[in-house]
A and B are shown apart, each in its own frame.
Chain A
């Protein structure tokens, strides 16, 4: 595809394609790298889930195939709906998301001490994943209305509130990990919109203070334990440190080329916890080795790179902010999930985009892929 990042597409290109026909056909306007990467990763994920769940009572592979199928559908929907339409409905979607999160506190399924699931026809869905889309839309809409070169403190605070309210509701479930995952979108979009040095410093101080307050008052014991374990993993090798120790052994023992499909002793002997969801990458690392890790990360990197390219050739501010908002959430998931296996960051329940078993998060990733591809497709059309 031609690089147009340098020039703003001010030339009006008729939608009937006659004018562009000589240069680019319709099908060539689609940034195929995004959906192709997504599907390749999902297929890789299925093989890992199969190996990880072979001993489990539930057939997670078939279920994930259903989710990926649904994912392709929502990806096409995301592609078809213009982002201007999406942004027009940002506020109602955001309110609907808040209502879902609120009602969840009363009606949700209790799973592992947290009420974060709605059961839908036997398959589970987390409104937190829906909220990721809604919050980004709401942020983009708000920040694009601010035409200033750099944001005022007040605007930063309102942006923080847009993310903070749903994050607080999610944290109350309590699912601190998912709540934190909304903030990369806030940080990257506020950064894009421009910050004054003073604001940056103030934000830094605020984060430190709220962090300290949360540590003291807001965290549950197990959450505090996890962070402590992260800082000093050897203090408790059999309790909280167990997961980290086992995932490190799994990853490390994969060595360069891995132990082979279904041959991972860590995975097959059930040392690894939730190995079909959050720890799916450890199974991959054990069975496919560093080569497999590198190949998967390369796919992810290419995917995110494509997102950045779509953003930089975006038609206007809205397009750029929307693409970066969605991509930053996925990018941070990738970084956090792969990082926690080897002890870069504390272990918490964060899935890996496209690879982990999981319903609504898979849908979120595919939908975002569709939206980003759609934004790119429409840059050619002047409306």
Chain B
């Protein structure tokens, strides 16, 4: 039965009005409902809201502990008491301020200033008015709870770094989540603490616990009556580091009053057993709010204690770099182990006169002897024969000029110069004379102490470029392998062993075991004349390097020591290597207080 359009339209309009009537009815029901709830029963609900006895309280999920390789805790969680003020419960705010100032032994002005900063916050929301109360202070507030119900003590867990300034750069500390953190990571709330540096930062997602919550019934003073249901907090994961606290503390002791860095790592795996950067800071100071004076003191320190010199600073490598030049020359067949040069104390290359550090000269030397005695003249000659591109290539293969991939933030890549770099960064061409400087580790070259350690580890283990890391049990990206011929390794290792047995590295020699190493003395300013570093002012004194491994065959430990403005590597840096080898291999009696 087909109807005519006029009639059909009329029907539709009628039924539309029917639906509209239904809609009006539903709307009326809603309006009546709101009128009943808000106007008729409003006072009842207002009271319920005021005494809303159901409260959701967060339960802090404890952060994971950090342990050394022998499971000794390096950080723990300790309770810390915060004073909260609910201004809406205060009978007379001035009276509360007065009471609090008296209890905390501060002036009412300070308290008022604190309250002022919260003036935009609704009065019924408890605000944080004092941190880190002593137990006496806590007892004082709890005892006066009936008279001053507006104050509440909140117990939170705070990080306590057991070894203070020792390990500070590895451990890092916590800070309030930044706007960037909040945007990047789900589940973070403003005011949450997250790792700001070091392991605390790199492994923050693993370490942090998941907060739980409990729903509690509270009385009108906000005191707990009973608990109804809770979501348990989950503790964070404990992390076991590869660090050996004993080695670390030995190294820390050595650096007292000195500036620099030391690294001990296992060349077979890349596990870092000790990593020191000096001067240091006390991360426990960051566990509470730093006042601006304390912060300024840290920032203004001319030695920048916050910087982790092992990975965040790069330095000229000096003679340590001759290891790289020697490997490149042998592998590229630029020189054979038997080729010799005559060192008279200086030589002419590219029209300029180049001095050897030994003014009397080394005489006729082959590569092994040149490396042992750190003969500059021999390596000057290798420079032009290798050319900068091949030197740069081998540097990168051995782990220089690129990040090592350590599990810490802010690692510097160092600098391995080549022709392309010269054009891009400097806008000038690469001068052949610079290749001569680079061959002995001077020129624009920069390496971090950790890169030096990786390079030495590659020589020690026969070609594995390890990924240095601080945490056990977390998979490392696959190691790169660089092909080194047995002859190359034999010559370089032999030369490095000679350095310790009878050369500049004698102070690193350990009785009863073989140690291989290379000292380095990196010039800070070019010196026209040879002056003993000890006689120079501190800022222009040379940097001291010592890069080593032991035992020579089947090496188990690499030690790199770098002392900023320390003078000679032999006297300033090598002694620490000896201390660490003895500690590691001899198991000296443990006299540290762990």
Contacts and interface: CB of A to CB of B under 8 A. Distances in A.
Contacts of A270: 56
Contacts of A293: 31, 34, 38
Contact of B26 (A266, A305, A335): A335
A312 interface: yes
A182 B229 CA distance: 37
Contact of A269 (B2, B20, B31, B52): B52
B125 interface: yes
Which 7 pairs from chain A and chain B are nearest by CB? A252-B45, A255-B42, A253-B49, A290-B38, A253-B46, A253-B45, A252-B37
B42 A253 contact: yes
Nearest to B186: A57
B592 interface: no
Interface in A217-269: 237-239, 242, 245-246, 248-256, 262-263, 265-266, 268-269
Interface in A292-342: 293-294, 297, 300-301, 304-305, 308, 311-312, 314, 316-317, 320-321, 324, 328, 331, 335, 338-339, 342
A216 interface: no
B182 interface: yes
Contact of A321 (B12, B38, B39, B190): B12
B16 A324 contact: yes
Interface of B: 1-3, 5-6, 8-9, 11-13, 15-20, 23-24, 26-27, 29-31, 33-35, 37-39, 41-46, 48-50, 52, 54, 56, 122, 124-125, 182-183, 188-190, 215, 228-229
A294 B3 contact: no
B12 A248 contact: no
A312 B16 contact: yes
Contacts of B43: 255
A301 B188 CA distance: 40
Contacts of A301: 24, 27
Contact of A297 (B3, B11, B27, B56): B27
Contact of B46 (A194, A252, A297, A338): A252
Give the bracket for the number of chain A residues in contact with chain B: 35 or more
Given A335-B30, A338-B30, A271 B54 contact: yes
Contacts of B13: 5, 311-312, 320
A285 B37 CA distance: 10
A16 interface: no
A71 interface: no
A290 B33 contact: no
Given A248-B45, A253-B49, A308-B23, 8 more contacts: A149-B1, A188-B19, A238-B229, A250-B49, A255-B45, A268-B125, A308-B19, A324-B16
A164 interface: no
Nearest to B56: A270
Nearest to B185: A57
13 contacts: A148-B3, A194-B11, A238-B228, A242-B215, A252-B44, A265-B122, A268-B124, A270-B56, A293-B38, A312-B13, A312-B16, A320-B12, A339-B29
Contacts of B30: 297, 335, 338-339, 342, 344
A147 interface: yes
Contacts of B27: 297, 300-301, 335
Contacts of A245: 54
A156 B143 CA distance: 74
Most chain B beta-carbon neighbours within 10 Å: one of A57, A270, A339:
A57
Given A320-B9, A335-B30, A191 B1 contact: no
A321 to B, nearest CB: 7
Interface of A is mostly: helix
A270 B37 CA distance: 21
Given A57-B188, A256-B38, A266 B49 contact: yes
Given A265-B49, A271-B52, A285 B3 contact: no
Contacts of A320: 9, 12-13, 16
B374 to A, nearest CB: 57
Contacts of B8: 147, 149, 317
Nearest to B33: A342
Contacts of A265: 49-50, 52, 122, 124
Contact of A263 (B3, B34, B122, B189): B122
Nearest to B189: A57
Given A238-B215, A238-B229, A268-B125, A252 B38 contact: yes
Given A266-B52, A344-B33, A289 B16 contact: no
Interface of A: 5, 8, 55, 57, 147-149, 188, 191-192, 194, 237-239, 242, 245-246, 248-256, 262-263, 265-266, 268-271, 285, 289-290, 293-294, 297, 300-301, 304-305, 308, 311-312, 314, 316-317, 320-321, 324, 328, 331, 335, 338-339, 342, 344
Contact of B42 (A238, A252, A263, A339): A252
Contact of A249 (B9, B52, B183): B52
Interface of B is mostly: helix
A188 B20 CA distance: 10
Contacts of A324: 16, 19
A66 to B, nearest CB: 16
A342 B34 contact: yes
Contacts of A285: 34, 38
B119 to A, nearest CB: 13
Given A252-B37, A304-B23, A344 B1 contact: no
Contacts of B6: 8
A317 B8 CA distance: 8
Contacts of A55: 190
Contact of A251 (B11, B17, B34, B125): B34
Contact of A57 (B5, B38, B50, B182): B182
A293 B27 CA distance: 12
A171 B6 CA distance: 40
A56 B3 CA distance: 58
A5 B16 CA distance: 12
Contacts of A254: 38, 42
Contact of B15 (A192, A268, A314): A192
A294 B31 contact: yes
Given A242-B54, A290-B34, A249 B48 contact: yes
Given A148-B1, A238-B228, A256-B38, A316 B9 contact: yes
A25 B188 CA distance: 56
B19 A191 contact: yes
B118 to A, nearest CB: 14
A115 B214 CA distance: 28
Given A149-B3, A249-B45, A289 B38 contact: yes
Contacts of A266: 49, 52
A317 B37 CA distance: 41
A300 to B, nearest CB: 8
B452 to A, nearest CB: 42
Nearest to B38: A290
Contacts of B20: 305, 308
Nearest to B5: A316
Contacts of B124: 265, 268-269
Nearest to A297: B31
A40 B103 CA distance: 53
Contacts of B18: 191
Nearest to B35: A290
A270 B213 CA distance: 13
A55 B12 CA distance: 49
A255 B45 CA distance: 8
Contacts of B190: 55, 57
B229 to A, nearest CB: 5
Contacts of A344: 29-30, 33
Contacts of A338: 30, 34
Most chain A beta-carbon neighbours within 10 Å: one of B12, B50, B125, B183:
B12
A316 B7 CA distance: 11
Nearest to B45: A252
A192 B56 CA distance: 49
Contacts of A271: 52, 54, 56
A255 B5 CA distance: 51
